[in-house]
Amino acid sequence: AQTIHQWPVAEIKAVGSPLSLGCTIKGKSSPNLYWYWQATGGTLQQLFYSITVGQVESVVQLNLSASRPKDDQFILSTEKLLLSHSGFYLCAWSLGGRSQNTLYFGAGTRLSVL
Amino acid sequence: GDQVEQSPSALSLHEGTGSALRCNFTTTMRAVQWFRKNSRGSLINLFYLASGTKENGRLKSAFDSKERYSTLHIRDAQLEDSGTYFCAAETGGYKVVFGSGTRLLVSP
């Protein structure tokens, strides 16, 4: 069975500090991977997606970057956090190929930037 | 602009009754998914539809890409159905746009 693990569960960070959020998928080779973000009271927005190792596509520009260093790992990061980065970050995976893109979400990371 | 308009934003039902949630799309979508938010804030997939209808227990979903809408019907609502429901539509490629959610409250 496939499992998706996100870390950390929650973070409290200072404005201007760096950030790294991680996501690991086990039990599925070559998944499509996604990062989503929801500001408090806002709509869930897709930030990035990755179809293969080393390739990441940006969907929304929020002064964040993403990388896929391994087939089962997706990293979201920034060198300088903004207040506007606060919110709930969700990682998701789907099967490879376009015919069935059911999204399976991790438990999420709640980020507070102060 | 907004591509997915979800309604209603909030819905109250009495146990045993039913209703429908709806998402309208401003453009032709490839597929739609419906999710329910769990207690921690993550999303549980309910349905994935590229066309037609699907049913699972007391939930039924339909997607009409030509008419640009999808619905989620809940029948015989139970207290445990309370929560927030989202639709999400594939715009093309691997991009998925979410609706703003419907907060459902089922009361005795």
* pLDDT one-digit tens code per residue, B75-108: 999 999 999 999 999 987 789 999 999 999 999 9
For residue B94, the chain A residues in CB contact (below 8 A) are 32, 34, 49, 51, 57, 98, 101
Query: DSSP string of A11-47?
Result: EEE-TT--EEEEEEEES-SS-EEEEEEE-TTS--EEE
Predicted pLDDT of residue B1: 60
B108 in any annotated domain:
no
Predicted pLDDT of residue A8: 97
User: Does residue A98 have a pLDDT over 80?
Assistant: no
Predicted pLDDT of residue A19: 96
CATH code: domain A3-113 is: 2.60.40.10
Nearest in space to B57 (alpha carbons), one of B49, B47, B66, B42: B47
Q: In chain B, how many domains are there?
A: 1
The CATH number assigned to the domain holding B58 equals 2.60.40.10
Average pLDDT score, chain A: 93
Taking the Cβ of residue B89 and every Cβ of chain A, the question of whether any pair is shorter than 8 Å is answered with no
3-state secondary structure at position A84: helix
| Residue numbers of the domain that contains B36 | 4-103
Query: At a CB cut-off of 8 Å and minimum separation 6, what does A37 contact?
Result: A44, A45, A47, A60, A62, A87, A88, A89, A90
Cα B84 to Cα B105: distance, rounded to the nearest angstrom: 9
* pLDDT one-digit tens code per residue, A3-47: 899 999 999 999 999 999 999 999 888 899 999 999 988 899 999
B80 in any annotated domain:
yes
Residue contact B97–A90, C-beta within 8 A? no
User: Does residue A101 have a pLDDT over 60?
Assistant: yes
B26 in any annotated domain:
yes
